Structure 1
Amino acid sequence: MTYDLNDRTAVVTGAASGIGAEIALVLARSGAKVALLARRADRLTELAGKITADGGRAIAVAADVTGDLTAAVETVHAAFGRVDLVVNNAGVMLANPVTEGRDDEWRRMIDTNLKGLLNVTKAFTADLVGAGAAGAADLVNISSVGAHLTFPNYGVYTATKAAVTHLSANLRTEFGPLGVRVTNVEPGLVTSELADHMDNPDVDAHLAAWREQVPPLSPSDIGDVVGFATSRPKHVNLRQLVVLPTVQV
């Protein structure tokens, strides 16, 4: 699917693969200029080349959302000017019992899933507010249905996503009056690289069995939802979107 996003300028974090890459593809096909932001420069360059070959406009911006984003913002502005659409998609999912005391994993998830989202939002707040005064402006946060559910071994991950969902609701009270829409997207089971970084064989086996029972969504399904939400008329804000496989309950 494509939507009317002509003359829009987007930043998508976590764009090197999975949901982020598919969101970027949908936005670019819909006419937006897209800055692809992630750590893996080679993957970003490949995706930017694909978008350009298809007639779109994209740049690769290698950056870590947990660090200083000054240079990344300058790169985006130099290439495309003011940003009016930000998608906070970068995230990491690590699963182990809390009793294991894996504070290394806790730190990574909190830094990426929450602090990283805040860093990116802060970096482009002035852009969004300026854009919102003149036309459409969107802040999209990719949370998880886990924000509302309990899963053994995923306690810290789901806690970070609950924080994202609650933060999104509060951000809307601040950004909405300034003309900036805030949309919180909560996917259910999706095929992605999120699970590839876990190191607990029992958790991996459980997730694999779950995917056999519940065929997951594809990342392109989430990309389509983001394209739809951000292409609505300026006065329409789809603030909360839960996206599940039909058989997931």
Structure 2
Amino acid sequence: MSTGDAPEKLTYEDLNLPESLQPRNEAWAGALLKYYYFCEARPRHPLFSGCQWDAWDPSGTRASSQNTFTSDDLSSLSLLGVNLPGDAAVQILVKQKDRFDQLLSAIGDDLDLVDVDDVSESGKKYGPVWALWHELRKLHNVGATKTAKLIARKRPRLVPVYDSVLRETVFPSGKQWQPLHAALRQETPHRRLHDRLEDLRQDAGLGSEVSPLRVFDVLAWLEGSGKAKAVPRP
């Protein structure tokens, strides 16, 4: 292949990699991240409320509540376009609070997904994530999107955000954790995907509260929703 030829596209099983994460698209990816996260700098109100999600901590208790769901956690869902039913909120914050505290504690620290060997329900590190997933799904009108966003709020480096846009454009098999986990751990000629996401975060000037998984989510969502068209490709 000559120097001027475009590099081959990266492909992963059961995962459609966003175009901005393909080789030589780093500048566009960076521009998309700045478009999403620094929208407050534009004259009008923020275009994306989700730019507040990663650091959302109005009560100032996030650091001390890693193993318990708080009102801040529930309100953070609205920043990503969903709302938790009142009955579910009562169950999480009051009636089943101890149960959900135990489930969160069992997950342990916020590891990076790339460092987990097995994301199946029998996996040592991810089994507790599945346990919490199933308990949240039992609540009234709490589907996969709300559940994923709620768990990702507590463990943003370990659990990806998930919604209908990503399901339709990025994860054709209907699975999410398994294909993304495999892609993150796969070595490629263009560096491991996890490292590239971390580089993009740093190059865009984003804080450490923005995880590599969130960088993937934002880029995939912008492209899948069609909003990336507002940012010209270099």
TM-score, normalised to structure 2, is 0.28
Query: As a proportion of its length, which structure holds more strand?
Result: 1
Higher relative contact order (CA 8 A, sep 6+): 2
